[in-house]
Structure 1
Amino acid sequence: MLSVVDERDIGSCSKRKIVTTLIDICIVGLAAVPLLIFKVSVTPYHRGFYCNDDSIRYPFKSSTITSAALYSIGFVINIVLILLFEFIRYQFGSIYGATNGGPATESTTSYTDSTVQTGRSTRRKIFQYFYNVYRVLLPFVFGAVVEHLTTDIGKYSIGRLRPHFWSVCQPDPAKYNCVTGYITEDVCTGDPSRIREARLSFPSGHASFSTYTMMFAMLYVQARLRWRIISLLRPLIQLILFYLAFYTCLSRVSDYKHHWSDVLGGAIIGVVTAILVVFKVSDLFEKEPRDANSGTPVIQNMVVQTPEHRTMGLQHYTEMGGPGPKIQQHNSHVMTKGYANPHFTAEDEDDRYYIPKARHRNGVARSYTENDVGTEGRIATQVYYIDAGSSRHSDSEGNATFSKMTTQL
């Protein structure tokens, strides 16, 4: 995965975030340098041919999908989708993140829920939106560079002749003799630039780039479009994206630009690169917090001392999916003091409301300062069920009263 920025920085423009962003951009730039070297100074492998090889005697045709159209469509579609769906998450976060078509539960994290409501909140939310666009767009560009580089390595190393090689080569009969069989001499008299391109058949660059960009877009839509009221909307979008790549691949064969095996090899490169980038470089499919599952406690029976010197039982659950009944909630006192959460107001910053350095996380004791309320917490919703009964050691379950509090760690 590309360098990870501390999630506590999200919504703010910190020096650390700027440095890591510049490093990521430099990595992409360095990966793109070999592409320029291939175009400028590398000569394709000089492969010979047979006079009776009919697979390279097809006529020269203009491309149905030009290179300009290929790159424009591939980048524009992904950029538009990323801007659109990240904006939908920015505006409606939990609603469009639901899997059942209705509003998500209160535990679903959204941009609007996790922003500090201060005078700077609007600016922070806007910055957070563009930063999340960047975190999707950067892996996409990185993958496009890797896909292109992989394709070029194959093209220049193998030097396979295109189906229209004979048409652009225009070999001089005085320079070769078909009786000798395999001809390796330079016998072409056509345009040198076209001859050079005619030696770059395997794998297909159009096939690799179109399948990479469309596969990335299909997986992105799968990850982001969870609104299921119209159940066929997501597969419809993905089907359109698939057909765009499929038609591009077919056109390379019908235009006599590539052999079918060239297109197949390029498509495999594009698909594999997209899958690796989405699942290993980006965080599109990382598990997000879901519903609190009462069967999987992370912290149990944590003692909190209130100003009234009354002991309250506290149970903490990480937001996650899965079966299991939720704890019955009642309208009792909700303990919200003493936790690191930027949403708390100034009157909440009171050290008396918890025992310093007594908090645990994932079952492991951690050391905290007496008041870390002012620090911005990890953007991941945590759920606390508080036993506000007379005593957490009560023998009767009927006396237990649970209240739910959500915060961010």
Structure 2
Amino acid sequence: SRGQERGMAVEGKPSVKSSSSIVPCFLFVELVIMAGTVLLAYYFEYTDTFPVHIQGFFCYDKTFSKPYPGPDHSSKIPPVLVYSLVTAIPTVTIVIGELCAFFTKAEGTQEKTIVTADCCYFNPLLRRIIRFLGVYAFGLFTTTIFVNAGQVVTGNQTPHFLSACRPNYTALGCQSTMQYIGERRACTGNPLIVMSARKSFPSKDAALSVYSAVYTVMYVTLVFKTKGTRLTKPTISLTLFCLAMLVGVVRVAEYRNHWGDVLAGFFTGGAIAVFLVTCVINSFQQMLPNPLPLRPQRPESVLGMPMVTLPCVESPLEKLHGDLRSPRSHDHQPYRFPPVTPDVLIPSRSISSEV
């Protein structure tokens, strides 16, 4: 954790920083949180620990009467391809970007080498790659948890739900489209397919695609320093966004999700990516320590000893002089001394002679 890397620079090595908390924080805090996130995502995805909410439906509802498109692996953009792209594209981009920034000594990417226990050195290049990819992996599993939680809580049906459910309208007594069916055993289709058809909101593929695109685009925009052309970063960014939008369009075109499901997935993935980039890893820039507050300095003497502050006592002569110069004294008239005549003056010689 960058927030725990406190220490003093090693003497004679200004590019080396000492830290005794980086290894314990990584082993006992970050890895534990990461393991818990992965475990929770696994329980949501592959177990029945969290049952899906069973929603009813209206008879002959056209919203859920689209034809069954087949299993997910038969899609034009199957989940395996989506998962491969959201894993490979950010990894390759971050590794290449960090190598280029390290060897070109780009501003804002140069950090100090961390040494702990006077024996273990952590290279800044390796630390930045592990930090950015670790945060990305954490966000990827977090997005999966948020999406699966939304699907389990809402239980919204896909556009092909009735084709997968295959309800017996005669046994259910459906006589009009306004009749609502809330029975749990109304479906006669494959239970696994029916359960998958109840997980539509939000779209998981759309959320993961946009999360990967936003995270990678922000990395390219904030880290890459292209001086030769102005179109490199916009081209990469728009390409990644187009790929993410294409995933959502295909999900809607194949009747696997509604437009509202895709938009909710876009918002979920984009919000998580923006939060992690801006609030967790400080926009991929070097995290500078907070400057220590300056303490007010006391006045010191020439010898370096602190001076003792004594109470200020006003002199009677200064007070009299201020009163004489005040415009309000003596009815706003300036004070005039009486004229001095020669008779008043006593020569000093006469006084000394008398004495």
- TM-score, L = length of structure 1: 0.61
Whichever residue aligns with residue 182 of structure 1, its letter is Y
Aligned with 2:33 (options 27, 32, 36):
27
1:195 lines up with 2:194 in the alignment:
yes
Partner of 2:272: 273
**Which has a greater percent of strand?**
1
SS in 1 for 2:105: helix
Query: 1:110 deviation in Å?
Result: 3.1
Aligned with 2:21 (options 1, 9, 16):
16
Give the whole-Å Cα distance in 2 for the aligned partners of 1:5 and 1:175: 68
Query: 1:32 deviation in Å?
Result: 2.9
Whichever residue aligns with residue 136 of structure 2, its letter is F
On the 8 A contact 2:109/2:286 being kept in 1, the answer is no
List gaps (5 residues or longer) in structure 2: 10-14, 298-355
Please give the per-residue CA displacement for 1:348-401, whole angstroms capped at 9, x wherever unaligned.
xxxxxxxxxxxx9664489xxxxxxxxxxxxxxxxxxxxxxxxxxxxxxxxxxx
Give the whole-Å Cα distance in 1 for the aligned partners of 2:83 and 2:257: 18
Alignment of 1:243-322 (within 5 A): 243-286=242-285
Query: 1:179 deviation in Å?
Result: 2.9
Alignment of 1:36-55 (within 5 A): 36-39=42-45, 40-41=47-48, 42-55=50-63
Give the whole-Å Cα distance in 2 for the aligned partners of 1:173 and 1:2: 61
On the 8 A contact 1:164/1:198 being kept in 2, the answer is yes
On the 8 A contact 2:7/2:17 being kept in 1, the answer is no
Alignment of 1:322-401 (within 5 A): 363-364=294-295
Q: CA RMSD in A?
A: 3.0
Query: 1:283 deviation in Å?
Result: 2.2
Query: 1:286 deviation in Å?
Result: 4.8
Please give the per-residue CA displacement for 1:106-127, whole angstroms capped at 9, x wherever unaligned.
xx6636xx569xxx9xx958x3
Partner of 1:326: none
Partner of 1:232: 231
Give the whole-Å Cα distance in 2 for the aligned partners of 1:243 and 1:147: 20
On the 8 A contact 1:201/1:258 being kept in 2, the answer is yes
Query: 1:175 deviation in Å?
Result: 3.3
Partner of 1:60: 68
Partner of 1:208: 207
Partner of 1:129: 125
Aligned with 1:84 (options 96, 104, 124):
96
Q: 1:234 to 1:156 in 2, by over 3 A?
A: same
List gaps (5 residues or longer) in structure 1: 98-107, 290-317, 319-359, 367-409
SS in 1 for 2:139: helix
Give the whole-Å Cα distance in 1 for the aligned partners of 2:250 and 2:134: 29
SS in 1 for 2:21: helix
SS in 2 for 1:179: coil
**Which has a greater percent of helix?**
2
Q: 1:32 to 1:11 in 2, by over 3 A?
A: farther
Query: 1:31 deviation in Å?
Result: 2.5
Partner of 1:219: 218
**Number of residues paired by the alignment?**
277
Q: 1:4 to 1:14 in 2, by over 3 A?
A: closer
Alignment of 1:138-217 (within 5 A): 138-179=134-175, 181-185=179-183, 186-217=185-216
Query: 1:210 deviation in Å?
Result: 0.6
On the 8 A contact 2:220/2:233 being kept in 1, the answer is yes
1:75 lines up with 2:83 in the alignment:
no
SS in 2 for 1:284: helix
Query: 1:26 deviation in Å?
Result: 1.2
Query: 1:278 deviation in Å?
Result: 0.6
Query: 1:163 deviation in Å?
Result: 0.5
SS in 1 for 2:58: coil
Query: 1:4 deviation in Å?
Result: 4.0
Identity %: 26
Tell me which structure has the larger Cα radius of gyration. Answer: 2
Give the whole-Å Cα distance in 1 for the aligned partners of 2:67 and 2:247: 19
Q: 1:35 to 1:287 in 2, by over 3 A?
A: closer
Q: 1:361 to 1:5 in 2, by over 3 A?
A: closer
Partner of 2:5: 5
Give the whole-Å Cα distance in 2 for the aligned partners of 1:198 and 1:159: 9
Please give the per-residue CA displacement for 1:227-248, whole angstroms capped at 9, x wherever unaligned.
2321111111111111110101
Query: 1:266 deviation in Å?
Result: 0.8
Please give the per-residue CA displacement for 1:314-354, whole angstroms capped at 9, x wherever unaligned.
xxxx9xxxxxxxxxxxxxxxxxxxxxxxxxxxxxxxxxxxx
Give the whole-Å Cα distance in 2 for the aligned partners of 1:81 and 1:262: 29
On the 8 A contact 2:59/2:169 being kept in 1, the answer is no
Give the whole-Å Cα distance in 1 for the aligned partners of 2:2 and 2:41: 21
Whichever residue aligns with residue 66 of structure 1, its letter is P
On the 8 A contact 2:143/2:208 being kept in 1, the answer is yes
On the 8 A contact 1:148/1:205 being kept in 2, the answer is yes
Query: 1:11 deviation in Å?
Result: 6.5
- TM-score, L = length of structure 2: 0.70
Please give the per-residue CA displacement for 1:44-91, whole angstroms capped at 9, x wherever unaligned.
111111123111111122322211111110011111111111111111
